Amino acid sequence: MDERYEGPCEVQVLLPLPLASAYDYLVPAGLDLAKGDFVVVPLGRREVVGIVWGRGSFSVAADRLKPIAARLDVPPLPLPLCRTIEWVAAYTLNPPGAVLRMAMSMSAALNSPKPTFAYRLREARAEIRLTEARRRVIAVLDSGPPRAARELALEAGVSASVVHGLAEAGIIEQVALAARPAFARPDPDFSAPDLSAYQEEAAARLRRAVHENFSVTLLDGVTGSGKTEVYFEAIAETLRRGRQALVLLPEIALTAQWLGRFETRFGVRPAEWHSDLTATERRIAWRAVAEGRAQAVVGARSALFLPFPALGLIVVDEEHDPSYKQEDGVIYHARDMAVVRARLSAIPVVLASATPSLETAVNVSAKRYQRLHLPERHGGAALPRIEAIDMRSDPPPRQCWLSPKLRTAIAETIGSGEQVMLFLNRRGYAPLTLCRGCGHRLQCPHCTAWLVEHRLAGRILCHHCGYNAAAPRNCPRCSAENSLAACGPGVERVAEEVAALFPEARSAIMASDTIGGPLAAEDLVRQVRDHELDLLIGTQIMAKGHHFPLLTLVGVIDADLGLGGGDLRAAERTYQLLHQVSGRAGRAERAGRVLLQTYVPDHPVIAALLSGDRDQFLAVESQTRRDYGMPPFGRLAALIVSGFDSAAVERVAAALGRAAPSGEGVEVFGPAPAPFALLRGRHRRRLLLKARKDVAVQPRLHEWLGRIKLPHGVRVQIDVDPYSFL
């Protein structure tokens, strides 16, 4: 099985760069390599780290081949991961090196653990003239932790002598590195709960799956039914077998509360992998995974590309969550690719959700996935009662957003010592600001988007590109004073109304821009749990995972918000989000109540939420998609053409339109201006390929793009299975 390459011979080395293919290198005599090994190779005037990918392709004359400089003392990239990288690359039409880059996003982890010294910048530096190479080394150290000489040279793209020269010149100095911290072993039998009969049945099935080959299981249960406890049992069984377990969570669901529960169950915290880790933490976690010392890992979608040598189980919690779709760089869906990695590793994958995605539900109906059902909440907690408030007959006063019914319910709830959560998925004060004098609307200079006023910060922001300016006093166009009017509500505006109506109530806003970071978020969660707050107003970041015993009323300010827009999944997503928000109410002994403010109480999504008939809703949605040949019954792929020069973008889009594939089972729509026709200063046009399920779209896309020559400055992004149509 093991592919070994004993020098002298030729191998292909895949570099973590968007190159069309792997490059051939010479394995010098005396070096013995295997597929997956990390090696240092020359590339132009630099040295880079790559992966031994296979036998040489003999595309270069032997005498022009460059030799591999060294093999790194790191465990090889596991073969199932290599195959996953190839699979993802082929499916998403990305060069394999671009996908490999996601698996090597921590070059710092690659140096051998042996050096116990690293270099850092000296506080008091000698004044000398700096060469470009020396400047690069300093820039690397300036923006990160101390690094060993070899690592520093690699990262700065310089030779080791440059680093040593800087040390001699007194610009950098050596420091001792701390010893590697050990990852404590989670104990599968540390503290197992008594499971209910339903839970035990599901857990037993998952334990069995852990001993078998590839399988996909949907763990389907209402919020609070114990899905987490049940998949913990599958993790425990994986650990007993001496294998590693990976849990994927949407980034914002990875909370101290979740980590605390893991620790309660297994005695130690799992290894973490997410965007908040420092470079050092990433290096430590990556190496611990690669060496098999980290047995349980919880992470956001990129954890899928970690080099587990003995992966035995993948859990994708909240599998329906749209944030599993990575929208830039390599565009992929982490849930779908988790299934791919599990298949290539011959291990089980568990998808958990209270509101499974339509894709998963259809796979269950087709018997491709198994389903385990947890029908009731743990401890007999009742599901919340969900009611609609018809805003046509019970409207709030002008320029207000809380209807009389919702106001009464808030007063009653707070009055009886319980807590309220108001949900509005809109940050800031108002989504649109316009001038009453001339009608001018404040718009982002770089995007097709309105600027959102953030009154607490005194700024106006673009939520798409981050453009940010002081909130103007006067209209920027007609200069009229005091003429700017806020249109519509954001959470800050609802907070203002709450403060006016309930001056005694202790309230807070929970939105990504109003809380300073994970620690502040945890503190806010603690304040709610300890009843230091009566009322919380928040966006979807508070929809997830939290468990507040005293929270008995959830008010949804605008239940219709996600329904417009014509997105393929608008109804499904709105249902999932509102269901999840509703699940925050009444998680303990006290009954919960949910009030949905809506102008369309008869809309199928609202009706399904009121009746609680999720499966009926999914059946209707699924029939509609089937009728129109939409995913998962058909295939979609989007091309997004963008660039700073709008005429060039238009020309490329038109050429793509003319070159579009046609024929049996394939249709192409567009080009059309994207809904965000201007984003971060780039002009954008979209084309959409729709194909029958039995059509392989990748070769079609490949051919199609091959017919076009891209001028400099115009980019075509390919999004296979698009989730965003903006």
The binding site for ligand ADP (CB under 6 A) comprises: 193-196, 199, 221, 223-229, 378, 547
CB nearer to ligand ADP: give 549 or 681. 549
CB of 231 to ligand ADP, least distance (A): 8
CB nearer to ligand ADP: give 221 or 490. 221
Peptide bond into 675 cis (omega under 30): no
Which three-class secondary structure state does DSSP give residue 327?
coil
209 contact partners, CB below 8 Å, separation of at least 6? 215, 217, 234, 348, 350
CB nearer to ligand ADP: give 153 or 247. 247
Dihedral pair phi/psi, residue 539, rounded to 5°? -95, -170
CA distance 153 to 151: 5
CB of 224 to ligand ADP, least distance (A): 4
462 binds, among ligand ADP, Zn ion, none (CB under 5 to 8 A by kind): Zn ion
193 binds, among ligand ADP, Zn ion, none (CB under 5 to 8 A by kind): ligand ADP
Dihedral pair phi/psi, residue 181, rounded to 5°? -75, 145
CB of 351 to ligand ADP, least distance (A): 13
Residue 19, token pair as written in the block? 């190159």
444 binds, among ligand ADP, Zn ion, none (CB under 5 to 8 A by kind): Zn ion
228 binds, among ligand ADP, Zn ion, none (CB under 5 to 8 A by kind): ligand ADP
224 binds, among ligand ADP, Zn ion, none (CB under 5 to 8 A by kind): ligand ADP
CB of 435 to Zn ion, least distance (A): 20
Residue 87: enclosing H or E segment and its boundaries? helix 79-92
- Neighbouring CB atoms inside 10 A of 478's CB total 12
194 binds, among Zn ion, ligand ADP, none (CB under 5 to 8 A by kind): ligand ADP
CA distance 597 to 607: 13
CB nearer to ligand ADP: give 364 or 383. 383
CB of 585 to ligand ADP, least distance (A): 13
Output the CA torsion 658→660→665→670 (10° steps): -70
Task: Tell me which residue of 72, 163, 57, 169 sits closest to 114, measured CA to CA.
Answer: 72
CB of 372 to ligand ADP, least distance (A): 12
122 binds, among ligand ADP, Zn ion, none (CB under 5 to 8 A by kind): none
467 binds, among Zn ion, ligand ADP, none (CB under 5 to 8 A by kind): Zn ion
CB nearer to Zn ion: give 292 or 673. 673
CA distance 637 to 539: 30
Task: Tell me which residue of 674, 688, 683 sits closest to 651, measured CA to CA.
Answer: 683
For residues 584 and 535, the answer to whether their CB atoms sit within 8 Å is no
CB of 509 to Zn ion, least distance (A): 23
CB of 441 to Zn ion, least distance (A): 14
CA distance 473 to 482: 7
326 binds, among Zn ion, ligand ADP, none (CB under 5 to 8 A by kind): none
CB nearer to ligand ADP: give 193 or 629. 193
CB of 325 to ligand ADP, least distance (A): 22
Residue 219, token pair as written in the block? 């763990």
E strand residue ranges, 527-633: 535-538, 551-556, 593-598
Q: Would you mind telling me the total number of residues written for the chain in this entry?
A: 726
DSSP-derived letter for residue 304 is G
225 binds, among Zn ion, ligand ADP, none (CB under 5 to 8 A by kind): ligand ADP
For residues 723 and 569, the answer to whether their CB atoms sit within 8 Å is yes
223 binds, among ligand ADP, Zn ion, none (CB under 5 to 8 A by kind): ligand ADP
CB nearer to Zn ion: give 574 or 642. 642
CB of 570 to ligand ADP, least distance (A): 25
Inter-CA distances, 134 with 40, 62, 140, 162, Å: 21, 34, 10, 6
CB of 381 to ligand ADP, least distance (A): 8
CB of 139 to ligand ADP, least distance (A): 45
CA distance 119 to 116: 10
Locus of tokens 């700024």: 459
Which three-class secondary structure state does DSSP give residue 435?
strand
CB nearer to ligand ADP: give 260 or 417. 260
Residue 515, token pair as written in the block? 């809380």
Peptide bond into 549 cis (omega under 30): no
CB nearer to ligand ADP: give 200 or 703. 200
Q: For the chain, what percentages of helix, strand and coil (3-state, to nearest 5) are there? A: 35, 25, 40
- Interface ranges with Zn ion (CB under 5 A): 444, 446-447, 462, 464-465, 467
CB of 641 to Zn ion, least distance (A): 19
- Which string of b and e fits 521-557 if b means at least 16 CB within 10 Å? beebbeebbeeebbbbbbbbbbbbbbebbbbbbbbbb
CB nearer to ligand ADP: give 115 or 549. 549
353 binds, among ligand ADP, Zn ion, none (CB under 5 to 8 A by kind): none
CB nearer to Zn ion: give 289 or 444. 444
CB nearer to Zn ion: give 174 or 443. 443
196 binds, among ligand ADP, Zn ion, none (CB under 5 to 8 A by kind): ligand ADP
CB nearer to Zn ion: give 453 or 534. 453
DSSP-derived letter for residue 438 is T
CB nearer to ligand ADP: give 377 or 684. 377
403 binds, among Zn ion, ligand ADP, none (CB under 5 to 8 A by kind): none
447 binds, among Zn ion, ligand ADP, none (CB under 5 to 8 A by kind): Zn ion
Question: Backbone dihedral region of 458: left (phi > 0), alpha (psi from -120 to 50 degrees) or beta?
Answer: left
CA distance 38 to 35: 9
CB of 442 to Zn ion, least distance (A): 11
CA angle 330, 333, 337 (to 5 degrees): 95
CB nearer to ligand ADP: give 154 or 542. 542
CB of 134 to ligand ADP, least distance (A): 54
Dihedral pair phi/psi, residue 677, rounded to 5°? -70, -20
- Helical residues (DSSP H) of 353-437, grouped into ranges: 358-365, 404-415
CB of 223 to ligand ADP, least distance (A): 4
For residues 355 and 578, the answer to whether their CB atoms sit within 8 Å is no
Task: Tell me which residue of 187, 179, 151, 174 sits closest to 70, measured CA to CA.
Answer: 151
CB nearer to ligand ADP: give 193 or 681. 193
107 binds, among ligand ADP, Zn ion, none (CB under 5 to 8 A by kind): none
